[in-house]
Chains A and B, each alone.
Chain A
Amino acid sequence: MERSARVTPGTAVDRTLRTALGGFAAATVRLSTVDPVTTEIVRLRCAHHHDCGT
């Protein structure tokens, strides 16, 4: 799906919120209680759901 830019390039998210979200994501990635294959399948499913090509 192609889209136009929704916000001006360079727009920044509130620094505290961005840092906190990054910290949450990093803490989640560091977990080892779920096996790597399942973790990767879930990650790819989430990326697909959010249409995230990154």
Chain B
Amino acid sequence: MPDRAPYDRPVGSLDQLTTEDVITRVLGGDRAGRRSGLADVSEQLRAANEAAWAATSPRLLELCRVRIAILLGCAAEVDARTPGSGVGDDLLAAIRSWPTDARFDALDRACLAFTEHYVIDVASIDDDTVAAVREHLGDEGVANFVNALLVVEQRIRLRLVWDRLLGEV
């Protein structure tokens, strides 16, 4: 009997799994996953995620990750916490109030404004929104932040798709 693609076999409940575990389970590190090439995608995505957190302030990326999860309606990522980010639950609980809450500084606000625009309509991000981030992070910091944001957003969107398509199998 030929191997089935990893996404073409029951994967069980995804509810209690981290996104990292979901990626591994769905894309597969087994023989079927390796033969289909999906396991390679899984490994590369894991490497990209590690690099994203290493190249950016974990605090900033954690704030933006949770904001993306809220905007996209990904409960698992809203509830998840990234070890070592230095962000407390109280701050994350207040993240919808970032424009007015004094606990969010100018850098936080610049990055969260960018993130919201990025999620809503990435092609229409204006110069001022980018300049506000650049003012704090510099050229390379902006470039790294945007690429890190891309990785975080892709993982959350994949999680949402798989929760919907496979979560009830």
**A residues apposed to B, CB below 8 Å:** 1, 3-4, 6-8, 11-14, 16-21, 23-24, 26-28, 30-33, 49-51
Contacts and interface: CB of A to CB of B under 8 A. Distances in A.
Contacts, number: 91
A20 B50 contact: yes
Nearest to B123: A51
B41 A17 contact: no
Interface string B47-91: 110111011000000000000000000000000000000000000
Given A24-B47, A27-B40, A31-B38, A13 B143 contact: yes
A3 to B, nearest CB: 6
Given A16-B55, A31-B37, A24 B147 contact: no
B5 to A, nearest CB: 6
B51 A20 contact: yes
A11 B123 contact: no
Contact of A12 (B123, B130, B140, B151): B140
Interface of B: 5, 36-38, 40-41, 43-45, 47-48, 50-52, 54-55, 122-124, 127, 130-131, 134, 139-140, 142-144, 147-148, 150-151
17 contacts: A1-B123, A3-B127, A14-B140, A16-B51, A16-B54, A16-B55, A20-B48, A20-B50, A23-B44, A24-B44, A27-B37, A30-B37, A31-B41, A33-B5, A33-B37, A33-B38, A49-B122
Contact of A50 (B123, B127, B144, B148): B123
Nearest to A51: B123
A6 B43 CA distance: 32
Given A6-B134, A14-B51, A17-B51, A24 B142 contact: no
A44 B124 CA distance: 18
A26 to B, nearest CB: 8
A32 to B, nearest CB: 7
A16 to B, nearest CB: 5
A12 B139 CA distance: 8
B160 to A, nearest CB: 16
Contact of A17 (B38, B40, B48, B124): B48
